[in-house]
Amino acid sequence: MEERNIGTLLVTQRENVRYLTGFTGSSGSVVVGSGRPILVTDFRYQIQAAAEAPEARILIQKKDHYSAVKKAAERLGAATLWFDDASLTVDRAKELRKQGLRLKGVKDPVAEIRLRKDTIELAKIRTAIFRAENSFRALKRHVRPGATERELGFKLEMLIREQGSRRTAFDSIVASGTNGAMPHASITDRRLREGDLVTIDFGAEADGYYCDITRTVCVGRPTARQRVLHDLVLRAQERAINAVRPGVRCAEIDRHARTTIAQAGHGKHFGHATGHGVGLMVHEGPSVSSLSKGIVDEGMVFTVEPGVYIAGWGGIRIEDMVLVTADGHQVLTNLPRKL
């Protein structure tokens, strides 16, 4: 804040509020200035806020959230609030201005801090991965002809919860046969058939932190074409992962995966980014794409997930999570990648 000449910062994004204070409620903002930050919430979370955010001053709104934020700003002696212009809605900004507050938008400084995970965060991410991978191993014996995508998705969710997660990281993807050509296919009642490829994209949670993993499996013995394309995606992923180290541009990591697939004649079949950060959100910074201007730094955790998707045939994606270390990288996920 000092470096950017930010006097008092209003933090509204739920994950940023949790990151700064520990508060997990669904309604809350933090006003950060000199001294202890002020957490603004409502009566429903009065006891929870005091327990979860002991280092913040708690302000329970009496009338509405906007007048309470103004009161917090007054306590900090601030007439102007800086805010993340990517998360505060136009409507909420309008209501805050009605309170007589001046607002200035900035690029989210909390998100920039969240890019680099500390040891406590990494431990939670590793726990989420452990839970997800155990669940996938248990699911594999249910992947057989006649099983439906919906049955497998429901089973996977139960397994993840049984491992200790309060929720799945996102709605799991179980895309079989031609449905695999859709990178984010919705689960259907389609029954698996002998010879199908099945792309399973899943993630678990541990104390608010997430993981994101994808494996493509074959129901029965893979064909030569299935093996060739799976090997291609795996080779693209390995080249991208091997490029990960501090100081490398995110776009360069993407280029390694994209060029490998394009040189094999499947450039038009890989149309999404190579990866994304994972932490308190399943999709957060950094973006590992051809358009990214980000630079890889120690402590970042992101996915590397190239794929090939062919309409009328199916798709293949392999996704792992990578930690950037001081001198390179470490793959955090442990599931075998072989088809």
Nearest to 278 by CA among 257, 316, 304, 253: 304
The 3-state DSSP class for residue 233 equals helix
pLDDT value of residue 247: 98
CB 315 within 8 A of CB 181: yes
d(CA 81, CA 10): 6
What is the pLDDT, as a whole number, of residue 252? 98
Neighbours of 291 (CB within 10 A): 9
DSSP state, residue 170: S
Q: Report pLDDT for 34.
A: 86
Q: Say if residues 275 and 332 touch (Cβ distance below 8 Å).
A: no
- State residue 271's pLDDT score: 97
Q: Is residue 132 classed as helix, strand or coil in its secondary structure?
A: helix
Q: What pLDDT does 256 receive?
A: 98
CA distance 197 to 176: 6
pLDDT for 35: 86
**CA-CA distances (angstroms) from residue 193 to 90, 149, 211, 219, 223?**
49, 11, 29, 7, 14
For residue 127, give the amino acid letter: T
Q: Are 21 and 55 in contact (CB under 8 A)?
A: yes
Q: Whole-angstrom distance between the N-terminal and C-terminal Cα of the chain?
A: 49
What is the per-residue pLDDT for 115? 98
* Other CB atoms within 10 A of residue 278 CB: 26
Tokens found for residue 180: 């695999």
Q: Do you find a cis peptide bond into 145, omega within 30 degrees of 0?
A: no
Retrieve residue 260's tokens.
């490998």
Are 322 and 330 a contacting pair, CB within 8 Å? yes
Of 337, 331, 181, the residue nearest 266 (C-alpha)? 181
- % of the chain surpassing 90 pLDDT: 98
Mean per-residue pLDDT for 311-318? 98
pLDDT in tens, 16-68: 999 999 999 999 999 999 889 999 999 999 999 999 999 999 999 999 999 99
Note the pLDDT of residue 143: 97
Cα Rg for the chain, rounded, in angstroms? 22
314-317 vs 307-310, strand pairing mode? antiparallel
Q: Are 13 and 87 in contact (CB under 8 A)?
A: yes
Whether 230 and 221 have beta carbons less than 8 Å apart is answered as no
What does the pLDDT read at residue 263? 98
Distance, in Å, from the CA atom of 248 to the CA atom of 300, rounded to the nearest integer, reads 12
The pLDDT tens digits of the residues spanning 77-109 come to 998 999 998 899 999 999 999 999 999 999 999
User: Taking the alpha carbons of 249, 254, 257, 262 in that order, is the dihedral positive or negative?
Assistant: negative
Question: With the CA atoms of 144, 162, 126 and 281 taken in that order, what torsion angle do they form, in degrees rounded to the nearest 10?
Answer: 90
Contact (Cβ atoms closer than 8 angstroms) between residue 309 and residue 315: yes
Domains of the chain, CATH where assigned: 9-114 (3.40.350.10), 119-331 (3.90.230.10)
User: How high is the pLDDT of residue 24?
Assistant: 97
How far from 179 is each of 221, 265, 314, 321, CA to CA, in Å?
A: 19, 22, 6, 24
Q: What is the pLDDT of residues 214-253, one digit of tens each?
A: 999 999 999 999 999 999 999 999 999 999 999 999 999 9
Measure Cα distances from 324 to 96, 192, 210 in Å: 40, 38, 17
- pLDDT the model gives residue 89: 93
- 81 forms beta bridges with 103
Per-residue pLDDT tens over the stretch 135-194: 999 999 999 999 999 999 999 999 999 999 999 999 999 999 999 999 999 999 999 999
